[in-house]
Amino acid sequence: MGKPEGSFWKIMADKDKLISRSEDYNEWYNSLVLKADLADYGPVRGTMIVKPYGWALWENIQAALDRRFKATGVQNAGFPMFIPMSFLQKEAQHVEGFAPELAVVTHGGGQELAEPIVVRPTSETMIGHAYANWVQSYRDLPILINLWNSVVRWELRTKLFLRTLEFFWQEGHTAHATAAEADERTRMMLDVYTDFAVNEAAVPVIPGEKSAMERFAGADQTLTIEAMMGDGKALQSGTSHNLGQNFARAFDIQYLDTNNELQHCWTTSWGLSTRFVGAIIMTHGDDNGLVLPPRLAPYQVVMVPIYRKDEDKTAVLTATHRIQQELSDAGVRVKVDDRENLTPGYKFNDWELRGVPLRLEIGPRDVENNSVALARRDVPGKEGKQFVSQNGLAHTVTELLADIQQAMLAKATRFRDENTHDVTNYEDFKTAVSTGFARVWWAGSDADETRVKEETKATIRCFPLAQPGGEGVCFYTGQPATRQAIFGRAY
């Protein structure tokens, strides 16, 4: 064709290209979720259809969490999604917090209901009702239960995975005989979330405590893991609440202790949702699309066979399936992209968009040389591509996947740290929270916190559990402070 060499390919390449993150981060996110085939919009405003690829990612998240929960003695159970309105009203803070976002069922079986029923926004009240019946004696404690379900909160402004009317999550609910045990459990589950985020998702998080204003409605204490997204904004990625005796009192969860005295239980709850999928997208994604951590990726390796002639095809496909089996036997999640109607180049781009950690190309030359090409998703272009021997390939791949996992965590951690600034005055604070986190000494009141939010849109994401110790000067009030806080703009 008579056009300059580059222009044709540039046009072709731009055709289906994502908008770059720097151009419009929001648009990048929205279109990526759709194009990577993770999810789609539901027919009711603000609802989400999770497609098989997105659900597979969620299933891997579920599996990683579930085995950690069970290792601490937690059992799964199923609870009703319908809650009597009166239950919500039993805990004053709780109803106040959730009232504005409740979905209420007024009709059933063609009849108007005598009492409206609430679709669970979370199950603390239903759990309270059940536990009150289950607990009689200190011998019945602790109760350690987790629910995998979905909940409904009538959000005004929604965004796929991050905030939808209905979302999928787990909610753990425990009841204990002592305050110390409840406190221990609250921290233990935060540790579980931290370990999961860092070691499975390669998402560096800051474990910390929420301020009184950001606390869960009805909790004495809310712990959180906070992550920094690619645009410098914060995402609350999992929470663990110490509910004290608030719900035990509201629902009469009582037991007889060893002295035959009636005591209220101490309860906790903790949750992590499909929002975490959003955290993975925005922590690791780049201008070419998703970058999934190998430990959670639905496919860890995608194989793209390449051939021209029929005789090549037979040889290539034979080798492809042999290697597929070999990798699969080694516990690697492999996908062979044997679609006939698409060119290898298209497949490369497609799987990059979908974030598969490692691409394995195999063509006639490889069959001849006993080699394959491996291209790692986290290192784009030629740099990330290498030809390796087919001998010991399972080992090579396993090592490479581990390396990718580690490199992704290192990269995300570096980004987070480079965009976290220790500041001591308001001007520097404003600069810091416009691009990332500000770490400050804080001694302000609720009113001060509100004012900072109004003036800068930044909120206290958490008081990190890891504190430097000693004392500092509050950047806002100038008062002596004993705790440092992380501020940031949040999703």
- Rounded (10°) CA dihedral 460, 461, 465, 469: -30
Q: Cβ-count burial of 464 within 10 angstroms (0-12 exposed, 13-18 middle, 19+ buried)?
A: middle
Binder of RNA out of 186, 194, 239, 484 (CB under 7 A): 239
Cα–Cα distance between 141 and 134 in angstroms, integer?
Answer: 10
Binding mask 174-213 for RNA (x = CB under 7 A): ----------------------------------------
* 307 lies in the binding site for RNA (CB under 7 A): yes
Binder of RNA out of 117, 190, 306, 393 (CB under 7 A): 306
User: According to CB under 7 A, which residues from 89 to 128 bind RNA?
Assistant: 97, 100-101
Cα–Cα distance between 264 and 173 in angstroms, integer?
Answer: 16
Q: What are phi and psi of 423, to 5 degrees?
A: -130, 155
Cα–Cα distance between 34 and 18 in angstroms, integer?
Answer: 11
Binding mask 376-415 for RNA (x = CB under 7 A): -----x---x------------------------------
Residues 6+ apart with CB under 8 A from 430: 456
* 3 lies in the binding site for RNA (CB under 7 A): no
Size of the site for RNA (CB under 7 A): 67
* 447 lies in the binding site for RNA (CB under 7 A): no
Residue closer to RNA (CB basis): 375 or 481: 375
Inter-axis angle of helices 275-284 and 25-35, to 10 degrees? 110
Supply the minimum distance, in Å, between the C-beta of residue 381 and RNA. Answer: 6
Q: Which one of 106-114, 172-180, 261-269, 344-352 is the stretch in contact with RNA (CB under 7 A)? A: 344-352
* 342 lies in the binding site for RNA (CB under 7 A): yes
Nearest to 425 by CA among 465, 450, 447, 456: 456
* 335 lies in the binding site for RNA (CB under 7 A): no
Inter-residue contact 132 to 252 (CB < 8 Å) = yes
Binding mask 59-88 for RNA (x = CB under 7 A): ------------------------------
How many Å from the N-terminal Cα to the C-terminal Cα in the chain?
A: 48
Binder of RNA out of 53, 134, 348, 426 (CB under 7 A): 348
Cα–Cα distance between 201 and 204 in angstroms, integer?
Answer: 9
* 159 lies in the binding site for RNA (CB under 7 A): yes
Inter-residue contact 347 to 339 (CB < 8 Å) = yes
Cα–Cα distance between 46 and 154 in angstroms, integer?
Answer: 9
Q: What token pair was written down for 230?
A: 């690619």
* 54 lies in the binding site for RNA (CB under 7 A): no
Which residues form the interface with RNA (CB under 7 A)?
9, 12-13, 15-17, 26, 30, 41, 44-46, 97, 100-101, 153, 155-159, 162-165, 167, 169, 214, 216-217, 236, 239, 271, 273-275, 288, 306-308, 313, 340-346, 348-350, 352-353, 359, 361-366, 372-373, 375, 381, 385, 457, 490
